[in-house]
Structure 1
């Protein structure tokens, strides 16, 4: 059985016509009929039931069409991927993630991906939500791991990873550290520490203040490590999401669930990438990370 014969058969069914299929495939009508007859001879069954100028598919023909279409699509993807690997001098995957991200699954996903696809060079960078959005928009990264702050954009794949529980990290020396849960009202007189570059401080403050409802004074740190040093010295609290498995807080810091009324707050985390730039490796990495994040759910 030749791949061309399969494509001729698909074309006849898709066009509901031998004549139109022959024109589409740039061969004569008699030739396309002969090729399909050869297919039937090879299988020893009829695929098409002919009735003058009309035809219908036999049960065998319906099965062949349905699964043959899937097989042709797989072969086309296989051909394109082989061609791409042969023309690219170096395969790269550039991943961006939030500066405040502290869970372990991203590291595990990167390690597993590197083991599975050693031919791909990984480039990892972090930033604030807005910085990552601009990196993705201008093709400086291929894939971004971030919280959802905008309505989903039709130009991007918005691959939902996990709804993460929200917590507060606060000094064990602060009186609020004795509570089992905290609310934004509890924290309104305590400084809120945000992780941001100097250029993005106003944007981060505006989001936490006007979108999420934080009414605390704000302090800023450029890294997660710097933020936790500020917490340990009792300068404020850090809002943090459990997007995966967080390491245990160091001595002097307590992690407490953040609630609104009777329910713990949650944030939606996603993998984002441009539809026009999608490829096998981006999709594989996003799925690998999603599986790791949801393994214990």
Structure 2
């Protein structure tokens, strides 16, 4: 008894005709007839009888029809489950905050170029919420702010230490400056990503240490909006140096004293058992995004 025989039998039941069943299945009539004959020979029972030029089920055929419906439904469910598992095994859920996503997009694009068979699902949130999502198994990789936050269940590897710069448009009064103190920056309007972002918290902490209050007149959840406001001259804003250097209309200015930011990659300790995630981690080591086969920090 084979699945294709059961499917052919089911269609003959629906059409009451081998000819019509063959047309519906887009196969030859002899193939359908052979499948029904093989089933009847296997069981030693007649499954159909002819009545008024139609095929109708025998008593035994009616019983078999009910069993076939359940078997085919179960087979479909198994096939759907296996397809879902196959998709899960060939995709990676990567969590990134808004600012870090903009910074790391080239790296993710390179991974896709080298491994087009693996699908990347990008998840967004704060560094704190993404760490929780990783711990709960809702994402596979987290690229977040911080340094050396490995735990009993997670591996942490430093990716880079980058400079935070103050950005303005080319007509801003400070556009010719190479360095600025936060006291000087506090005289002008700022646009920043909304509360809950570690990047913003880092900047506010520095303002607090310098005993000055920033004029954050604009808040947004979108990096694109922040960039547009800075370009227009409505406000200045803080960006990663590597991100600011990609924007020809912006002028990045270093802080005095300098301010830097740590970015790290996190994953579950047992993640390397998954071949797809292991491929991503091997790629990251190959391109010096992270170092060490054990996920140790770059230092």
Deviations 1:57-87 (A, max 9, x none): xxxxxxxxxxxxxxxxxxxxxxxxxxxxxx9
Shift of the 103–123 alpha-carbon distance from structure 1 to 2, 3 Å rule, reads closer
Contact 1:168/1:255, CA 8 A, preserved across alignment: yes
Distance in 2 between residues matched to 1:282 and 1:211, nearest whole Å: 35
Structure 1 runs, 4 residues or longer, greater than 4 Å off: 149-152, 203-207, 244-247
Which one of 113, 118, 121 corresponds to residue 119 of structure 2? 121
Secondary structure at the counterpart of residue 89 of structure 1? helix
The higher radius of gyration belongs to 2
Contact 1:249/1:255, CA 8 A, preserved across alignment: no
| Counterpart in the other structure of 1:273 | 267
Shift of the 272–187 alpha-carbon distance from structure 1 to 2, 3 Å rule, reads same
Secondary structure at the counterpart of residue 227 of structure 2? helix
Deviations 1:94-128 (A, max 9, x none): 11222123766x33322332233333221123333
Q: TM-score, normalised by structure 2?
A: 0.56
Contact 1:158/1:272, CA 8 A, preserved across alignment: yes
Unaligned runs of 5+ in 1: 1-86, 293-297
Shift of the 233–108 alpha-carbon distance from structure 1 to 2, 3 Å rule, reads closer
TM alignment of 1:139-154, pairs within 5 A:
139-148=137-146, 151-154=149-152
Q: How far is 1:245 from its partner?
A: 6.3
In the alignment, structure 1 residue 230 sits paired with structure 2 residue 229 = yes
Q: How far is 1:222 from its partner?
A: 1.6
Unaligned runs of 5+ in 2: 1-83, 291-299
Distance in 2 between residues matched to 1:162 and 1:273, nearest whole Å: 17
Q: How far is 1:237 from its partner?
A: 1.9
| Counterpart in the other structure of 2:93 | 94
Distance in 2 between residues matched to 1:238 and 1:153, nearest whole Å: 34
Distance in 2 between residues matched to 1:132 and 1:119, nearest whole Å: 25
Distance in 2 between residues matched to 1:289 and 1:95, nearest whole Å: 18
Distance in 2 between residues matched to 1:140 and 1:165, nearest whole Å: 30
Distance in 2 between residues matched to 1:238 and 1:127, nearest whole Å: 20
Structure 1 range deviating more: 151-160 or 167-176: 151-160
Contact 2:148/2:157, CA 8 A, preserved across alignment: no
Q: How far is 1:131 from its partner?
A: 3.4
Q: TM-score, normalised by structure 1?
A: 0.56
Residues matched between the structures, number: 200
| Counterpart in the other structure of 2:77 | none
Q: How far is 1:150 from its partner?
A: 8.0
| Counterpart in the other structure of 1:208 | 203
Secondary structure at the counterpart of residue 232 of structure 1? helix
Instruction: Tell me how large the CA RMSD over aligned residues is.
Output: 3.4
Q: How far is 1:141 from its partner?
A: 1.6
